[in-house]
A and B are shown apart, each in its own frame.
Chain A
């Protein structure tokens, strides 16, 4: 048994990153993720690491590119408007096949929006928020413990596949406090023969680059990258099913929405409504096959989101529109209540 501590989700991300061997953090403060930076600023100097508050989000993501090129584990964190600023750098990381952890503790949008929680950066996170053909690995924690576990998993997947892993959390997940155990999580690392560490006059020099002078070579590179993505869609999907064995209705929800939905499902079950949940833990790769496998069994699906309905499109695609998919949502910094989700379950049950 490891030691239990009481942490905010943001702190759990920071401590887990340190346990995963990350010694370089670059960021710029923004609510509601500031505790990630605050925690790093206290801990990094004590363990020989680097905490650097950059002059902007754009500077921070470019510092991430630099450190990642040397093969070191590195991260940045921000909230929605700041993540928009980082998109050029994230595209460059994708084009260079560099690993990095990017944390988005979402707040309401678009624009400056507000500081209260949201999940409305789903499209930006899962569909390549910057330019070019690419994906990020997108991990969606639903507890403070998962904030820690998926941070470590994110570093491992990023290293394994040479790409950005993004933690897509929301302000509530970042700010809420729960007991966490981090000691017991095993840390895996991989060799990085491509890293820019100096040749020692013993090998050819390595090049990290996203510019290709010949279009046919760039095309080959893109095709190769998509073979990697296909392997990830096959091997790295993570999800959790809750009371799905006999479910006639399936809620699809991630992060804080999934926790609210769980309460609604329990209330509905108490009234005899057979409803369950499929909670995607990886938003990309999306658990398409797992959802399709439930399409014949269920009469309808309900996507519970703190957005105007973004993930719902992936649910419809995953089940090949075999059954209707309804939206239950709050936006602008509001969180759906269990009562609102329960009312939607009853409404959908009445119609199907």
Chain B
């Protein structure tokens, strides 16, 4: 496992949710871990929304002062540099959506390449309309790599329909994820499955939905 793990992909693919769950997984395994929100695109539903839960797991959060505020500044905090200066902790980075979000990575690229101890995972969801085919995923992958100046090293199949996801939905995404894998030559490092669903397959990673939802219960 590499020291730095970056989650990038199409906006709404579930990067934040996967990153938060992955950081908690590392922490629960007894590893020192820091999570950083590099999202300069999304106004709502950010890593910061999970701040209390992350704190309960002893995970420091590095995030813009403006996240969750009433202004829309695409700002990154200076403390982000500590992730690359201090190699004593594992780092989980939540990157903003699409190529626009990935531009923010450019600032840290040289430090990351110099250390050469990172993985960048492409988060994909076949139920998102703009990445519903493997070809559309490849398009977005290349745009992100171009903007970030860093190549992906693996794929996270995070195909889901939110709280309505069924086992059949997850299973129906296997062919799609395999196609993205063979088109890009990247391995599928994780297939995410919501807590409570039982799916068999390789590299299954159970996650909890972090985002605020407004239940339509009746």
Does B44 contact A114, Cβ atoms closer than 8 Å? no
Does B132 contact A5, Cβ atoms closer than 8 Å? yes
Closest A residue, CB atoms, query B213: A176
Chain B residues with CB under 8 A of A5: 127-129, 132
A221 sits at the interface (CB 8 A): no
Chain A residues with CB under 8 A of B218: 242, 262, 266
B110 sits at the interface (CB 8 A): no
Distance of A242 Cα from B218 Cα, bound (Å):
9
Chain B residues with CB under 8 A of A43: 130
Q: A175-B43, A256-B214, A262-B218 are in contact. Are A6 and B72 (CB under 8 A)?
A: no
Q: A6-B161, A31-B72, A172-B214 are in contact. Are A42 and B45 (CB under 8 A)?
A: no
B191 sits at the interface (CB 8 A): no
B149 sits at the interface (CB 8 A): no
| CB proximity to A under 8 Å, residues B188-218 | 211, 213-218
Nearest chain B CB to A245's CB is how many angstroms away? 14
Chain A residues with CB under 8 A of B127: 4-6, 179
Closest B residue, CB atoms, query A243: B218
Does A6 contact B43, Cβ atoms closer than 8 Å? no
Distance of A67 Cα from B215 Cα, bound (Å):
40
Chain A residues with CB under 8 A of B11: 35
Does B70 contact A4, Cβ atoms closer than 8 Å? no
A153 sits at the interface (CB 8 A): no
B164 sits at the interface (CB 8 A): yes
Chain B residues with CB under 8 A of A82: none
Chain A residues with CB under 8 A of B216: 143, 259, 262
A116 sits at the interface (CB 8 A): yes
Does A114 contact B70, Cβ atoms closer than 8 Å? yes
Nearest chain A CB to B63's CB is how many angstroms away? 16
Nearest chain B CB to A253's CB is how many angstroms away? 12
B64 sits at the interface (CB 8 A): no
Chain B interface extent, by class:
20 to 34
Does A263 contact B129, Cβ atoms closer than 8 Å? no
Chain A residues with CB under 8 A of B162: 6, 177-179
> Which stretch from A7-15, A122-130, A189-197 is at the chain B interface?
A7-15
Interface of A is mostly: mixed
Distance of A259 Cα from B215 Cα, bound (Å):
7
A39 sits at the interface (CB 8 A): yes
Does B129 contact A4, Cβ atoms closer than 8 Å? no
B1 sits at the interface (CB 8 A): no
Closest A residue, CB atoms, query B128: A6
A154 sits at the interface (CB 8 A): no
A171 sits at the interface (CB 8 A): yes
Q: Scan B102-129; emit 1 where CB is below 8 A from any A CB, else 0.
A: 0000000000000000000000010111
B56 sits at the interface (CB 8 A): no
Nearest chain B CB to A305's CB is how many angstroms away? 16
Q: A31-B43, A39-B130, A266-B217 are in contact. Are A8 and B70 (CB under 8 A)?
A: no
Q: Scan A310-347; emit 1 where CB is below 8 A from any B CB, else 0.
A: 00000000000000000000001100000000000000
A175: contacting residue among B45, B69, B132, CB under 8 A? B45
Does A114 contact B130, Cβ atoms closer than 8 Å? no
Chain A residues with a Cβ closer than 8 Å to the other chain, count: 36
Chain A residues with CB under 8 A of B213: 176
Does A175 contact B44, Cβ atoms closer than 8 Å? yes
Does B44 contact A6, Cβ atoms closer than 8 Å? no
Does B71 contact A115, Cβ atoms closer than 8 Å? yes
Does B70 contact A176, Cβ atoms closer than 8 Å? no
Chain A residues with CB under 8 A of B129: 5, 7, 11, 15
| CB proximity to A under 8 Å, residues B54-104 | 69-72
B32 sits at the interface (CB 8 A): no
A32 sits at the interface (CB 8 A): yes
Q: A114-B70, A115-B71, A263-B217 are in contact. Are A4 and B43 (CB under 8 A)?
A: no
Q: Scan A262-284; emit 1 where CB is below 8 A from any B CB, else 0.
A: 11001000000000000000000
Chain A residues with CB under 8 A of B125: 6
Does A333 contact B70, Cβ atoms closer than 8 Å? yes
B12 sits at the interface (CB 8 A): yes
B160 sits at the interface (CB 8 A): yes
Q: Scan A127-148; emit 1 where CB is below 8 A from any B CB, else 0.
A: 0000000000000000100000
Does B70 contact A116, Cβ atoms closer than 8 Å? yes
Does B72 contact A113, Cβ atoms closer than 8 Å? no
Tell me the B residues contacting A by CB distance below 8 Å: 11-12, 42-45, 69-72, 125, 127-130, 132, 160-162, 164, 211, 213-218
Tell me the A residues contacting B by CB distance below 8 Å: 4-8, 11, 15, 31-32, 35, 39, 42-43, 108, 113-117, 143, 171-172, 175-179, 242, 256, 259-260, 262-263, 266, 332-333
Q: List 19 A-B contacts (CB under 8 A).
A: A5-B127, A6-B161, A7-B129, A11-B129, A32-B43, A32-B44, A108-B70, A114-B70, A143-B216, A171-B43, A175-B42, A175-B44, A176-B45, A178-B162, A179-B127, A179-B162, A179-B164, A262-B216, A266-B217
Give me 6 other A-B pairs in contact (C-beta within 8 A), A39-B130, A178-B162, A263-B215 excluded.
Answer: A31-B72, A42-B130, A114-B71, A176-B211, A177-B211, A262-B216
A-B interface, 7 closest residue pairs, ranked by CB to CB distance from nearest: A114-B70, A175-B44, A259-B214, A6-B127, A179-B161, A31-B72, A31-B43
